Amino acid sequence: MRISTNEFLLGSLNNMLSQQTNVNQLNQQIATGQSMLDASSNPAGASEAVGIANTIASYNYDLGNAQAATQSLQNGVNALQQVTTLLEQVQQTAVQAANVSIAPADRQALAQTAQAALQQLIQLANTQGPNGGYLFSGTKANTVPFSTQTNGQVVFNGDAGSNVVEIGPSLTAPSTITGSGVFTGIPAGGNGVAVTAAGTNTGMSYALAAGVTNVSQVAAARLAGTQYAISFAAGGGGSLTYAVASGTGTPGSAGFAATSGVVAAGSFSAGSDLTFGGIDVRVTGTPAVGDSFDVQTNATSSMFQTVQDLVTALQTTPANAAGNAQIQQQIENVLANLGGAQTSALTAQASLGSSLAEVQAVQQQDSNVNTNAESQLSSLQSVNLPEVMANYSESITALQASQLAFAKVQGLTLFNYIQA
């Protein structure tokens, strides 16, 4: 087999070019610290690296959402903690206001305290998250959830939904919640059983729901929309009698009159309880003939209305003993409603706290998985620097030797031997 000079030189040149390519590749690996400079160098490894990189990107996205959700939920928990503290302060104000012998100046001071608490409560209900969205507006994160109308009534502008974000594969967490059911729509009185006094009462008494004696009866009354009206009339020998009528609709309305019927009646003794329809109503003081009280079985209120009722009661100057009884009724109702308001705030706080703990647990899991994936990707892509540098040194030496040998061989011809 004969090999021409051109073939020999061409083969040597190709070998040097291959060595030069290898040296360049090793040099790039040293400079970048990466073993896969392009997909062609390791197609299988490159494909695996792309998959791991996508996993890392997905978990980074979830981690970002989890962090934002954690901040939002923490803001919500903090706001509700402040709401609970504020309601306790309002309760203390109401207890002081329940003292009938309180001086007018002190009553006005308490009214100012209650008014300031109302404004602070509205601010807390309009708490914003780290991204500026409102936490208690449901899905309407850009809408102020609670606003005050010209008549002083606080209204809810959000909805009953909740915005959620992905915090892990097939896992979501709320980033906002609805203020409906937290600040509004709260069972009034004793678990929804509430008593109100007629504005025309002239006696020195007030009434409250003391408890429920038959849960199933009350539940049936709620489903039917049943309400009760308690009225007092003169009995023999200067005594008082009472009658309890039940019906649907608002007591005193035509609809109530059309459906009402007496469900309980008898003589009344001051300080006694009236039991009917599974409800125990305690009447404190002595009613006058013609006085009446309405009993709702499914009454609701809002934190704002409860505090506003306290402000109104404190700003009212009673004209007589009957006026004192009316104010006392309002304040006792406030105290009863504050119990439900505190329960609502604590329940919401516990719910958000549970969601926060879940998000933080998932966030830790995401972080661990992400760290492992980054380590795996680094192991796949990173070079063994000592080994690569050793190979680089060997390749440089081999390339230099090849270049020297090529130079010498390229200068040799047959004429060199003839001349010699």
Written as one string, the DSSP assignment of 46-79 is HHHHHHHHHHHHHHHHHHHHHHHHHHHHHHHHHH
Angle between helices 303-315 and 104-125 (to 10 degrees): 160
- Give me the domain span that covers residue 412: 5-33+384-419
Q: 3-state DSSP call for residue 81?
A: helix
Quick one: 134 and 234 in the same domain? no
pLDDT at 42: 55
Residue 383 has pLDDT above 60, yes or no: no
Quick one: 173 and 103 in the same domain? yes
Domain of residue 70, CATH code: 1.20.1330.10
Quick one: 394 and 408 in the same domain? yes
User: Does any domain span residue 345?
Assistant: yes
User: Does any domain span residue 317?
Assistant: no
Quick one: 62 and 140 in the same domain? yes
Domain boundary among the residues 241, 270, 298 is at 298
Phi/psi of residue 71, each to 5°? -65, -40
Instruction: Give dist(CA 142, CA 135) in Å, integer.
Output: 9
Q: Closest Cα to residue 55, out of 405, 371, 332? A: 371
Pairing of strands 292-296, 194-197: antiparallel
pLDDT grade for 164, boundaries at 50, 70 and 90: confident
On average, the pLDDT of the chain sits at 83
Residues belonging to the chain: 420
Instruction: Give dist(CA 125, CA 119) in Å, integer.
Output: 10
Number of structural domains (the chain) is 3
70 or 298, which is more confident: 298
User: Does any domain span residue 216?
Assistant: yes
User: Does any domain span residue 257?
Assistant: yes
User: Are the CB atoms for 352 and 76 separated by under 8 Å?
Assistant: yes
Residue 253 has pLDDT above 60, yes or no: yes
User: Does any domain span residue 333?
Assistant: no
Burial 372-401 (b: 16+ CB within 10 A, else e): ebbeebeebbebeeeebeebbeebeeebee
Quick one: 226 and 255 in the same domain? yes
pLDDT at 173: 80
| Percentage of the chain modeled with pLDDT above 90 | 50
pLDDT grade for 224, boundaries at 50, 70 and 90: very high
Quick one: 209 and 224 in the same domain? yes
User: Does any domain span residue 47?
Assistant: no
pLDDT at 369: 66
Quick one: 227 and 262 in the same domain? yes
Quick one: 142 and 254 in the same domain? no
Residue 368 has pLDDT above 80, yes or no: no
Quick one: 144 and 221 in the same domain? no
Residue 3 has pLDDT above 60, yes or no: no
Residues 6+ apart with CB under 8 A from 170: none
Domain boundary among the residues 275, 298, 321 is at 298
Query: For 22-48, what is the mean pLDDT?
Result: 57
Quick one: 67 and 166 in the same domain? yes
Quick one: 88 and 27 in the same domain? no
pLDDT at 39: 47
User: Are the CB atoms for 87 and 338 separated by under 8 Å?
Assistant: yes
Domain boundary among the residues 298, 328, 356 is at 298
pLDDT at 362: 75
Residues 6+ apart with CB under 8 A from 268: 232, 235, 239, 240, 241, 242, 274, 283, 287
pTM of the model: 0.76
User: Are the CB atoms for 220 and 277 separated by under 8 Å?
Assistant: no
Quick one: 59 and 178 in the same domain? yes
